[in-house]
Structure 1
Amino acid sequence: MPEAVPPRRRGRIQLLLILMVVIGPMMLATAMYKFSFWVPEGRSYHGAMIGNGQTSADIGVQGASPQETWQLLVTAPGACEADCQQLVYLARQIHIGLGRDASRASHSLAAADVPADYADKLKQEYPQLKRYGLDRGTYAKATDNLGGARLWIVDPHGNLVLRYDGTAKGKQILNDLRHLLKLSNIG
């Protein structure tokens, strides 16, 4: 007949098992983060995630202040040419596509230079579009000279969340923004 484990020793074993169940996953998660192993490769967003705490002011957007809504921000370091104009149109269409959540978002343009004829068109056809200046030097330095127009999703605190280039598809950006709005308690 096997020997019975003394009650005091059995209690210690139970305590160690309970601690391993509670502390073990935390230790594993910390090790996974610190040593970058078992990190999932899949992602559910289509743009480039900005996870470094940059704000729109950090990339040279002038006059923009944190607001109460999410923002679709189009930036153009040079003149607002065809690619920039396409992204401005796309930002408005995405804003409209939000449907009942449209009040939680806005669209804006930060450009270093807007041609006069396009500025007139913006006033007539895009009355809700907010316009800001863009410091070329700060933008080039903060974005590693990306060049060309970009569309950014900015949270209500002014933090940059996702970035898209001129080839981005509107449906993908709309899905990303809807997902952010669904998860967000702000804006």
Structure 2
Amino acid sequence: MTNNPVYRGRIIFVSLVVMFALPAIVAKTILSQHWYQSGVTNKGELIEPRTSYENLGLVNPFQQKQWQLGYVIPEQCDAFCQQQVYLLGQSHLALGKYQQRVEPVLLVTEKSDVTALGQNDYQRVAINTAFSDVVEQFEFVIVDPLGQLVMRYPKVETQTELVTQSKGLLADLRKLLKLSRVG
């Protein structure tokens, strides 16, 4: 029976159909069951939905000029906060050739503890409660030249997490600057 040409032809046909259809069926099943998690390369959290200074009732002080690397000053700026402000400046210096395209800014509310900051050369941008609802105290944020809040970096608790976060922030910012044509 195995020498029958019709039977042999059917087996070859079924084998070819299975060979080409099976990968598509498996892929469809994996995607529809959400078993696959796509890889992301950014270290921060993308700010969704799209939010900008304008949407939050604020004026972008660097409109069409520069990217902003901002840090939201908390109500009590302790030693950890001061270290994050220091890392803000160090991240800006580490940008190298991209340094001219980015402005480090301190984002301050009415309740922010600016007395603990002392004298520094960073620009200060006043923010409102709508902004604080998107980016909270102790968080870093990247803002593009059009005033859109792109990425935020949540508060960390330990020194090692802070160093890791700073490296990730720097990698993300370099990638954005490399791909961007504005600012």
- The answer to whether the superposition gives a TM-score over 0.5 is yes
Give 1:118's aligned amino acid.
A
- TM-score, normalised to structure 1, is 0.64
Aligned residues: 144
Counterpart-to-counterpart distance in 2, 1:97 and 1:117: 27
Counterpart-to-counterpart distance in 2, 1:51 and 1:61: 18
| Alignment-derived partner of residue 53 in structure 2 | 56
Q: Secondary structure at the match of 1:53?
A: strand
Asked whether the equivalents of residues 77 and 134 of structure 1 are also in contact (C-alpha less than 8 Å), the reply is no
Counterpart-to-counterpart distance in 2, 1:58 and 1:82: 33
Deviation (angstroms), 1:50: 1.2
- TM-score, normalised to structure 2, is 0.65
**CA 184–62 in structure 1, closer or farther in 2 if over 3 Å, else same:** closer
Structural mapping, 1:25-174, within 5 Å: 41-56=38-53, 58=55, 64-76=61-73, 78-112=75-109, 113-115=111-113, 117-119=115-117, 121=118, 123=119, 126-127=120-121, 129-135=122-128, 137-140=129-132, 142-143=133-134, 147-167=136-156, 168=162, 169-174=165-170
Counterpart-to-counterpart distance in 1, 2:58 and 2:79: 20
Asked whether the equivalents of residues 156 and 186 of structure 1 are also in contact (C-alpha less than 8 Å), the reply is yes
Q: Percent identity?
A: 31
Q: Secondary structure at the match of 2:86?
A: helix
Deviation (angstroms), 1:64: 3.6
Counterpart-to-counterpart distance in 2, 1:59 and 1:130: 19
Counterpart-to-counterpart distance in 1, 2:166 and 2:47: 19
Deviation (angstroms), 1:36: 10
**CA 116–131 in structure 1, closer or farther in 2 if over 3 Å, else same:** closer
| Alignment-derived partner of residue 182 in structure 1 | 178
Asked whether the equivalents of residues 60 and 134 of structure 1 are also in contact (C-alpha less than 8 Å), the reply is no
Asked whether the equivalents of residues 53 and 60 of structure 2 are also in contact (C-alpha less than 8 Å), the reply is no
CA RMSD of aligned residues (A): 2.9
Bigger radius of gyration among the two: 2
